[in-house]
Amino acid sequence: MEGNIILKFENVGKQFDGNRVLKDVSFTLKKGEILGLVGENGAGKSTLMNILFGINVIQETGGYEGNVYFDGKKVVFKSPFEALNSGIGMVHQEFSLIPGFTAAENILLNTEKTKPNIISKIFGKRLETIDEKEMRKSAQKGIETLGVDIDSDTLISEMPVGHKQFVEIAREIDREKVKLLILDEPTAVLTESEAEILLKAIRNLANSGVGIIFISHRLNEIISVCDKLVVLRDGAVVVERSVGGVEIKQIAEWMVGRSVEGEKNFHSKIQDISNDKDIILDVKNLWVDMPGEIVRDVSFKVRRGEIFGIGGLTGQGKLGIPNGIMGLFPSGGEIIFNDKNLPLNNTYNSLKSGLAFVSEDRRGVGLLLDEPIDMNIAFNAMQVHDKFVKKFLGGFIKWCDNRAIRECAKKYIKELDIKCTSAKQKARQLSGGNQQKVCLAKAFALEPTLLFVSEPTRGIDVGAKKLVLDALRGYNEKNNTTIVMISSELEELRAICNRIAIVSEGEIVGILSAKAPIADFGLLMSGIDKLEEEGEDNE
Amino acid sequence: MQIKNNSIEKFLINSAVPILFILISSIAIPLSKFSGIYLVREIVTRLTRDTFLVLSLLIPVMAGMGINFGMVLGAMAGQIGLIFVTDWGVKGVLGLVIAMIISTPISILLGYFSGAVLNRSKGREMITAMMLALFISGIYQFFLLYLCGSIIPIKNYKLLLSRGYGIRNAINLDTAGAFDRLLRIKIRGVSVSFGTILIIVAICIFTTWFRKTKLGQNMRAVGQDMVVADSAGIKVDKTRIQAIIISTVLACYGQIIYLQNIGTINTYNGADQAALFAAAALLVGGATVSRATITNAVVGTALFHLMFIVMPMAGKNLTGSAMLGEYFRMFISYGIVTIALVLHSWKRQKDREMARVQFRVNVKALK
Ligand SMILES: Nc1ncnc2c1ncn2[C@@H]1O[C@H](COP(=O)(O)OP(=O)(O)OP(=O)(O)O)[C@@H](O)[C@H]1O
Ligand SMILES: [Mg+2]
């Protein structure tokens, strides 16, 4: 039995400047086993993985307590490279890909396929020429093991997030001797069907003997793929057991340490905006060329003051809509915003005319990581403010007024329950989920006329999801801000939207009131469901 | 990147600098009253003379280190090599080759030093390299002014100052034109030195090839994102030093090619200008601190020198005074460098803005 154990944590603890984030963590992982690590935002999951992987921050902030045993030996990795060399792969919560490189170049970064030439024979291997054909072949093979279809010649900067995620995973498993793979919220940026593909790939990998630590806030994924469950609460292990027979609700309760109230019904609160008299956004024949999320021909009207939901399955194009309107991907068609024609393909202009966007790409969301939270929240508002001085006559006009910035930050920290030591804490030091909350606050602070939010609850733990949705609803009511929310979780859309459009094959197949019975939504999506399955069968 | 509709605008922004120079030249050429054949002859000469130096700047740009103002160090090494072969009386191509052989280890050493210093000032490479060049230039002058002829034996008295030690201000090279005379062919009254051109082509091929090697790939990775490159196990600092070493050695050869064409060494202030002019030429060609191609280098060299030739004459014809023309020439050549640098920083600002918008204030874009 002992020989089967690949990883063992023994009384591991960690504090950052006296702020204790992990205490007495002990658990084990066997070869070929998938361990689901769950916990609230800021529970210490990423920190624990950083300790294992030898990330520099840990050393720089005074190391850790306790012991880590890997493959039978006690290990203290001084750098990620040492961890890599001894057979640990890690997919981080933030991307570590080079945007200007192709998928193949990234997958084989520093393990490039080369062929010798005369010069390299004299001066050494580093002058061997890159064998592009071999690189492509090898990368393609890696991508295919994951069961996805990505062109290895595509630049990372031109990929949808989901594909980036697969590229990053392909890179980790490409290394031959990987014995342990750490996946920190790999599915957070994936749509459900992409996530399914990934889960299947993980299972295959585990079957070949690799130990896997899988972190996710989607508890159903934990239940469906993991063998073992470890729950962290406030930095301590509260549960270590096999997954068999555990229910989602039970896990959620372990995570937050109290019983979780059932989903509250918001419908009563939603005000009635039921006519097309006051249209704030009129989209006509929009097309967007966003790889993996192509929008073909979409027309819809958004009423002033409503929350308009856009749902639909993976790759059908729902994400393309906000990305196109905001000018992040090439697009065409006609958009009338506030009775004015909105030129497409111009992000700056879109921002200027009062649109704001919280991207689904929460790893590229662009926080200024070395700036404090309050600066991050105020930053965009300050930038746009330069040109809209009159519009923000509130407290914000003195944008260099640090007190106002701090006040505003404090408000959102409270409202969104951002877990931090103070408003002056650097964004880098926040946990992933809390960074996501800062992004939302940033968009709120911009005081847009219309706010696009794409997948707002990704990476947010079960307890905090409701909080985020409440905040959106509240913001909508208080400021009469129109919100267009894109989400792959129908339940989430139904909870706070007035109307919901369902996107399929790049077109809107129907717009329903959120009160419509769930079966109706199912019907709209069901046809597509079948198509998808057929598509998969064909492969 | 993704805003395809703006591609024309983007192209214009990208080529703003070369376009501006083409515009100015097209006004100045008729004013200068130079004949076409004269201009072609001058441009060909100057292209063969200068392109190599400009090309030596490409690799550090690829490694994300900006324009290597430290190439001056290589140029100095090249000059030292040439001074020694002149002293020994080695003539012709052999003399130049020996000069290269002597100066290679010196420039490798200087390149290593320069790279190591730049590693301590990541993100501020260009200004650091300029300062470093000034510092090394002091040592270079000390070496030539005091050590040569006193501690280091110099036999040829023609090279020494009248006081008996220290190298003279201007030295005539025995090796003058040695590369240029190889395969020199007259085409319609324009003599083209295919020997030198072959050397330049070779360096172009080398650069292109180098980009495709493992080391080149490492440099590109380091240039794009040091943190990611580091976590993939690429030795960032070492790679950066290597980029600077290659650039310094190439600059050294470039300076030797340049000087054999000129025929004389301006011992004490020939080298510092090399970096400024090469940098300006590259920028005139539309390069940025983060992206520079062979085309940028060649086009830039041609345009830069076209201005250089035409402007003084145009000024003279416009004002009728030879003196004024001369002032004009000085004014313009420094002006070019300033404009190129200002335009270039404006463009960088623009790039940054676009990147910021595209990546929603992505922190990497701000750096
Ligand atoms: N470099 C750092 N300096 C100070 N505090 C830090 C640092 N890194 C993390 N923390 C703190 O440690 C705590 C745990 O963070 P961690 O990133 O491990 O959470 P997590 O469980 O991964 O959460 P999430 O689900 O949101 O990703 C947080 O309160 C965070 O603010
Ligand atoms: Mg985390």
Query: Inter-chain contact A365–B360, Cβ cutoff 8 Å?
Result: yes
Residue in B2, B209, B229 closest to A158 by CB: B2
Cβ–ligand 1 contact at A50 (below 6 Å): no
The C-alpha atoms of residue A190 and residue A210 are separated, in whole angstroms, by 23
Q: Are residues A257 and A224 in the same domain?
A: yes
Mean pLDDT of B5-33: 80
Whether A53 is covered by a domain: the verdict is yes
Q: Which ligand is nearest to the CA of A38?
A: 1
Query: Inter-chain contact A157–B357, Cβ cutoff 8 Å?
Result: no
For residue B343, pLDDT over 90 is answered with no
Reported confidence tier of residue B349, pLDDT bands at 50, 70, 90: low
pTM for this model (two decimals): 0.72
Q: Are residues A227 and A252 in the same domain?
A: yes
Residue in A125, A327, A357 closest to B214 by CB: A125
For residue A387, pLDDT over 70 is answered with no
Task: Give the residue from A355, A323, A297 showing the smallest Cα distance to A483.
Answer: A355
Whether A110 is covered by a domain: the verdict is no
For residue B116, pLDDT over 90 is answered with yes
Q: Are residues A233 and A347 in the same domain?
A: no
Domain boundary, last residue among A261, A294, A325: A261
Higher pLDDT, B350 or A444: A444
pLDDT of res. A345: 80
pLDDT of res. A535: 37
φ, ψ for residue A423 (rounded to 5)?
A: -65, -15
Q: Are residues A247 and A268 in the same domain?
A: no
Q: Are residues A346 and A273 in the same domain?
A: yes
Reported confidence tier of residue A400, pLDDT bands at 50, 70, 90: low
Residue in A330, A359, A370 closest to B5 by CB: A330
Mean pLDDT of A387-413: 62
pLDDT of res. A164: 86
For residue B13, pLDDT over 90 is answered with no
Q: Per residue in B238-290, pLDDT tens?
A: 999 999 999 999 999 999 999 999 999 988 887 877 887 888 888 888 887 77
Neighbours of A523 (CB within 10 A): 15
Q: Tokens 């034109």 correspond to what residue? A: B177
Whether A37 is covered by a domain: the verdict is yes
Whether A209 is covered by a domain: the verdict is yes
- Dihedral, CA atoms, A378, A484, A279, A497, nearest 10 degrees? -120
- The region of weakest confidence among A132-136, A146-150, A390-394, A405-409 is A390-394
Cβ–ligand 1 contact at A47 (below 6 Å): yes
Q: Which residues of A touch B (CB under 8 A)?
A: 80-81, 84, 96-101, 105, 109-110, 112, 114, 120, 125-130, 157-158, 327-330, 344-348, 351, 357, 359, 364-370, 379-380, 383
HEC sequence for A470-535: HHHHHHHHHHCCEEEEECCCHHHHHHHCCEEEEEECCEEEEEEECCCCHHHHHHHHHHHHHHHHHH
Q: Per residue in A363-385, pLDDT tens?
A: 555 677 778 888 888 877 766 65
Task: Give the residue from B191, B173, B172, B169 showing the smallest Cα distance to B182.
Answer: B191
Q: Is B357 on the interface with A (CB under 8 A)?
A: yes
pLDDT of res. B99: 95
Whether A123 is covered by a domain: the verdict is no
- On chain A, the residues whose CB falls within 8 A of the CB of B212 are 129-130
Higher pLDDT, A377 or B354: A377
Q: Are residues A538 and A456 in the same domain?
A: yes
Q: Tokens 């002597």 correspond to what residue? A: B102
Q: Which residue out of A19, A21, A256 has the highest number of ligand 1 atoms within 8 Å of its CB and is therefore the one to mutate?
A: A21
Closest atom of ligand 1 to CA, residue A44: 18
For residue A300, pLDDT over 70 is answered with yes
Domain boundary, last residue among A241, A261, A281: A261
pLDDT of res. A54: 87
SS3 A41: coil
Burial bucket for residue A30 (CB in 10 Å: 0-12, 13-18, 19+): middle
Q: Are residues A271 and A254 in the same domain?
A: no
Reported confidence tier of residue A271, pLDDT bands at 50, 70, 90: low
Query: Inter-chain contact A128–B213, Cβ cutoff 8 Å?
Result: yes
Mean pLDDT of A18-29: 90
Reported confidence tier of residue A530, pLDDT bands at 50, 70, 90: very low
Tokens representing residue A284 in the block:
């006509």
Q: Tokens 């007035």 correspond to what residue? A: A498
Query: Inter-chain contact B3–A345, Cβ cutoff 8 Å?
Result: yes
Residue nearest to atom 13 of ligand 1 (CA): A42
In eight-state DSSP terms, residue B143 is I
- Please list, in sequence order, all residues whose beta carbon lies within 8 angstroms of the beta carbon of residue B9, skipping any fewer than 6 positions away: none
For residue A48, pLDDT over 90 is answered with yes
For residue A230, pLDDT over 70 is answered with yes
Distance A255 CA to ligand 1 centre (A): 16
Q: Which ligand is nearest to the CA of A218?
A: 1
Cβ–ligand 1 contact at A57 (below 6 Å): yes
Among all residues of chain A, which has the CA nearest to that of B239?
A126
Q: How many residues does chain B have?
A: 367
Reported confidence tier of residue A362, pLDDT bands at 50, 70, 90: low
Q: Are residues A294 and A333 in the same domain?
A: yes
Q: Which domains, from first to last, does chain B contain?
A: 2-165+174-366 (1.10.3470)
- The region of weakest confidence among A449-453, A521-525, B171-175, B252-256 is A521-525
Chain B residues 192-231 with a CB less than 8 Å from chain A: 209, 212-218, 220-221, 224-225, 227-229, 231
Q: Are residues A203 and A274 in the same domain?
A: no
pLDDT of res. A505: 82
Q: Are residues A249 and A281 in the same domain?
A: no
The C-alpha atoms of residue A169 and residue A107 are separated, in whole angstroms, by 9
- How many domains does the structure of chain A reveal? 3
Domain that holds residue A293: 262-354+448-539
Residue nearest to atom 25 of ligand 1 (CA): A41
For residue B145, pLDDT over 70 is answered with yes
Q: Is B5 on the interface with A (CB under 8 A)?
A: yes
Mean pLDDT of B4-32: 78
pLDDT of res. B5: 47
Neighbours of B338 (CB within 10 A): 11
Domain boundary, last residue among A261, A280, A313: A261
Mean pLDDT of B143-161: 87
Start-end of H helices in B143-193: 178-181
Q: Are residues A470 and A513 in the same domain?
A: yes
For residue A531, pLDDT over 50 is answered with no
Number of helices followed by number of strands (H, E) in chain B: 16, 4
Whether A104 is covered by a domain: the verdict is no
Q: Is B4 on the interface with A (CB under 8 A)?
A: yes
Mean pLDDT of A76-85: 85
Highest mean pLDDT among A206-215, A402-411, B153-162, B303-312: A206-215
Mean pLDDT of A317-321: 89
Mean pLDDT of A518-529: 67
For residue B310, pLDDT over 90 is answered with no
Mean pLDDT of B145-155: 87
Whether A308 is covered by a domain: the verdict is yes
pLDDT of res. B351: 59
Reported confidence tier of residue A492, pLDDT bands at 50, 70, 90: confident
pLDDT of res. B118: 93
Whether A112 is covered by a domain: the verdict is no
pLDDT of res. A266: 45
Distance from the Cα of B64 to chain A's closest Cα (Å) equals 13
For residue B363, pLDDT over 50 is answered with no
Task: Give the residue from B289, B298, B240 showing the smallest Cα distance to B118.
Answer: B240
pLDDT of res. A198: 87
φ, ψ for residue A54 (rounded to 5)?
A: 70, 30
Task: Give the residue from A276, A265, A354, A353 showing the smallest Cα distance to A308.
Answer: A276
What CATH number has the domain bearing residue A234?
Answer: 3.40.50.300
Q: Are residues A452 and A539 in the same domain?
A: yes
CA B259 to each of CA A530, B26, B267: distance values in angstroms, whole numbers, following the listed order: 75, 30, 11
